[in-house]
Amino acid sequence: MEGSVQLDDNALLVLRERYLIRDEAGTLLETPEELFRRVACSVSQGENNDPEGRSAEMEEAFYEMMTSLEFLPNSPTLMNAGRPLGQLAACFVLPVEDSLDSIFDSVKLTAKIHQTGGGTGFSFSRLRPKNDVVKSTMGVASGPVSFIRVFNCATEAIKQGGTRRGANMGILRIDHPDIMEFVAIKRDPAELTNFNLSVAITDEFMRSYEENRDVALINPRTKKAAGKVNARELLRFIAEAAWASGEPGVIFLDAINRANPTPHVGEIEATNPCGEQPLLPYESCCLGSINLSRIVRNGGIDWQRLQKLTHLGVRFLDDVVEVSTYPSEEIRAMTSGNRKIGLGVMGFAHLLIRLGIPYDSPDAERTGGEIIRLIERESKIASNRLAEKRGPFPNFKGSVWDRKNLLQRNATTTTIAPTGTLSILAGTSSGVEPIYDIRYKRILPGGIEVEVEDPLWRKAKDRPDADELRRRLFRKAYEVSPFAHLNIQRTFQSSVDNAVSKTVNLPETATADDILDIYVAAYRMGLKGTTVFRNKSRGYQILSCGTHQ
């Protein structure tokens, strides 16, 4: 019997519901400790291709950092390592070209990816607009939105049998002729329920916005202008939709491509479902998160342990790229060409509470900055050491790392994931978000609704100074000002290769103009995108009179 891992009730519920192996009769066949052993054993096989690999030693180190809840890999790794599916990555981007073959090939691949618990992102920007010509049939095209519905229906159909309900990201460039329909579609809560949508905004668009000019809408098939729209009206239309329903989000395409480490391999057009991982078409990526709440020692940060966990995390994720199976040959080729990995953090808000630092304070930014700079620096050192033993990623030549003369095993090393499920397993706050509330209802993966009381609040609430602590340290997401949210996002984005999963929570009383201000600020800060969510906005049915259509 192995030493037992300290899991709270919700963590145990999630593990039993979705992660632990069962037989056909539904009887559990493994304990949580056996799950972590299975993962450690399977992932450490990635050491076998390295002449200096140390699979037995690494298995123990991997096992230890998972059972101590100091590091957890993304859900598909926990579910599938050492099991028949063997697919370990959470993030995928698939191409959608302007042909039926391409669209339906991607639908099929999407189904296979969702079956393994991975999420998929797509750019629909290459599809010809609604009512454009279809030569082969002399008919008219139905446009990107109608094809997004096809992916949505496929996701709906397979989600019952899969390990978790599928998640998708649909992206459309802001200069696509169907942009208005795309922006407004999710005001209807019955539409595209398995999709997050994001508008891909360019620098050129933002210039037009600043100068209050019109922008041309371009038909991607003919590359010719198919209409125009005033940039300020269009961005306001997006802000109004986000005000009403939390959708769409926006991504800043040029900022993303300025950070593309392999421009010689291709241009980035899309991200994974929650936006933190920009990827090339057919590329996938595995994420892993260090639990910051567990690195507090004697009221301070244990920097040595953080450094150690960063090195172990990089090694773990590089081994994952090695042992994972891939849903298609194209995905295997693209993923092993770049060997991107995404090491990040969870439990940032809990770390701050433990250190007595309010989330919306300069101290929080300073602490976050120190942490993420250490992780970024040490992850590059770790990737460099692996490159010296195992070789650099195959697309290294011509990459930004080649130009910087820094040998790397992985085209990227860092990403801040939402850690929706991982943070429940680890019993901590998610990603770099503030605590949602001291007490709230949560629907766990598997559909069970539970009451959650923040574990740190549970300990603090009987103290004589509880009220003051509540106001100062346990500030909930809606009490943190939008700009404090953005400042934390910027702090982490400044030292992360990929992107940061972050929601700017707004009070119910916020206006569309507040959201516009956030877009402009996020763009000026050099962020890669932003998602806003106004309290209680989902569930409202806002009637749209479509003044811009």
Active site residues: 272, 274, 276
- 154's enclosing H/E stretch is helix 143-159
CB of 432 to ligand ADP, least distance (A): 12
Task: Give the start-end residues of each E strand in 388-507.
Answer: 439-443, 449-453, 503-506
For ligand ADP, the binding residue among 32, 53, 166, 327 (CB under 6 A) is 166
Partner residues linked to 225 by β-bridges: 218
By beta-carbon proximity to ligand ADP, the closer residue of 208 and 271 is: 271
By beta-carbon proximity to ligand ADP, the closer residue of 231 and 432 is: 432
For ligand ADP, the binding residue among 37, 38, 128, 164 (CB under 6 A) is 164
Task: Give the start-end residues of each E strand in 202-256.
Answer: 214-219, 224-230, 249-252
By beta-carbon proximity to ligand ADP, the closer residue of 278 and 418 is: 418
By beta-carbon proximity to ligand ADP, the closer residue of 192 and 234 is: 192
Binding of ligand ADP by 274 (CB under 6 A): yes
Choices 60-68, 113-121, 217-225, 394-402 (CB under 6 A): range interacting with ligand ADP: 113-121
Choices 7-15, 79-87, 111-119, 486-494 (CB under 6 A): range interacting with ligand ADP: 111-119
CB of 133 to ligand ADP, least distance (A): 36
CB of 76 to ligand ADP, least distance (A): 8
Binding of ligand ADP by 80 (CB under 6 A): no
For ligand ADP, the binding residue among 53, 119, 278, 313 (CB under 6 A) is 119
CB of 457 to ligand ADP, least distance (A): 22
- Position closest to ligand ADP via CB: 119
For ligand ADP, the binding residue among 69, 91, 145, 456 (CB under 6 A) is 91
Largest CA distance in the chain: 76
Distance CA 378, CA 307 (A): 7
For ligand ADP, the binding residue among 165, 305, 308, 385 (CB under 6 A) is 165
By beta-carbon proximity to ligand ADP, the closer residue of 165 and 311 is: 165
CB of 110 to ligand ADP, least distance (A): 10
Crossing angle for the helix pair 362-390 and 482-493, to the nearest 10 degrees: 30
Distance CA 328, CA 132 (A): 32
Please give the structure tokens belonging to residue 413: 């090393």
Q: Is 244 helix (H, G, I), strand (E, B) or coil?
A: helix
By beta-carbon proximity to ligand ADP, the closer residue of 21 and 400 is: 21
Binding of ligand ADP by 154 (CB under 6 A): no
* 401-440 residues near ligand ADP, rule: CB under 6 A: 417-422
Angle at 543 (CA atoms; ends 180, 242), nearest 5 degrees: 55
Distance CA 256, CA 278 (A): 7
Give, in order, the Cα–Cα distances in Å from 214 to each of 125, 204, 239, 288, 393: 20, 11, 18, 43, 43
Q: Is 296 helix (H, G, I), strand (E, B) or coil?
A: strand
Choices 53-61, 271-279, 325-333, 375-383 (CB under 6 A): range interacting with ligand ADP: 271-279
Nearest Cα residue to 290 out of 390, 380, 376, 358: 376
Give, in order, the Cα–Cα distances in Å from 444 to each of 15, 189, 361, 441: 11, 21, 31, 10
Residues lying near ligand ADP in the complex (CB under 6 A) are found at: 74-75, 90-91, 117-119, 164-167, 272-274, 276, 287, 417-422
